[in-house]
Structure 1
């Protein structure tokens, strides 16, 4: 693979051109990762609107028909539905871990098996999240196991 980086003229839009024989999963993840760096998500906290960078998000959780965005030290509320968030972050490092949680795989410190085929993820902020057994095969696929 060859990578070429060129300077752009002042006022010209930055452009990424990808030429490939086949658009595989790894390339799709790279493309969506680049796009997500510039796409912030809106979170609400005490009536104040916050623009959150996806890399700061540990996980999304649905609780009592509300969606919460968990970051390292703060929790925000989202007006989006969980399935909308799942669609927004398809082909990225976000992964459906259970019916109520979408987890950022880059925030996992380590995984360990739990009861009944489930997994437990310890996150960088020392929170624990359970991954339901029905989502374990997708987790393994995303991790290349």
Structure 2
């Protein structure tokens, strides 16, 4: 009897790119991924532009992509990579609502909710390993699946509404009506050209930003304010690298863009 001593071939490591504009978030994900021996982190990126560049340069198998990025969101990374040979697998970091999560689940991609869960990440990596191993079929249709995801995420744009309380009733505003939203002692207040009303059903600015994130004309000026870029009347540089915005509402409200958001603000305006 002949006994074969051939060694079983060890699968190549899964080359991974981390994309998030916040260093602590990247550090946390890196730490969790390093607990898995078959994951090789080849690079990190903190913006959509750097993400596209890194994907083209390093050709990773897997990209952990934060949806909320300065200047452009994570979905625009996918758009810019359309037609790229050997498109990587994408795992989106999101705090999206159930509609968007359903879209992720029906695509050849995955998602993880923030804050990260070690258990959920392990489930995601199991799915990724299967898709990488089954590359002949599992990734063939990735490009079309990603496009389908974009279509599902973007199709309801015209139906996005923001609910506010007014005179004991709930009024629905279109995003275009909103000049800016501010977090105040009583909660979030939505400001239109001629009025201000407390928001209904959303308690944090992060959640409101996620609700409106598919609309490119909203920008987080600082932690407490989300502005509609289309309603900026004028702006000027301010001290310590900040910017001062004058909005086009009746009060000509003035809003400060924080120093940490100034670079992203200039990118959004192309300056």
- Tell me the TM-score normalised to structure 2 length: 0.41
Hey, what does 1:84 align to over in structure 2?
Answer: 207
CA shift, 1:38, in A, is 2.1
SS in 2 for 1:50: strand
Hey, what does 2:170 align to over in structure 1?
Answer: 49
Q: Alpha carbons of 1:35 and 1:106: their partners in 2 closer, same or farther (altered >3 Å)?
A: farther
CA shift, 1:137, in A, is 1.0
Mapping of 1:1-145 within 5 angstroms?
23-24=79-80, 32=154, 35-64=156-185, 66-78=187-199, 79-80=201-202, 81-91=204-214, 92-125=216-249, 126-145=252-271
More helix by share: 2
Gaps of 5+ in 1: 1-21
SS in 2 for 1:73: coil
- Which is higher, the Rg of structure 1 or of structure 2? 2
SS in 2 for 1:96: strand
RMSD: 2.1
CA shift, 1:104, in A, is 0.5
- Tell me the TM-score normalised to structure 1 length: 0.74
Give the count of matched residue pairs.
Answer: 119
SS in 2 for 1:90: coil
Moved more, 82-91 or 68-77: 82-91
Contact 1:60/1:102 (<8 A) preserved: yes
| Whole-angstrom CA distance in 2 between matches of 1:35 and 1:135 | 28
| Whole-angstrom CA distance in 1 between matches of 2:208 and 2:223 | 13
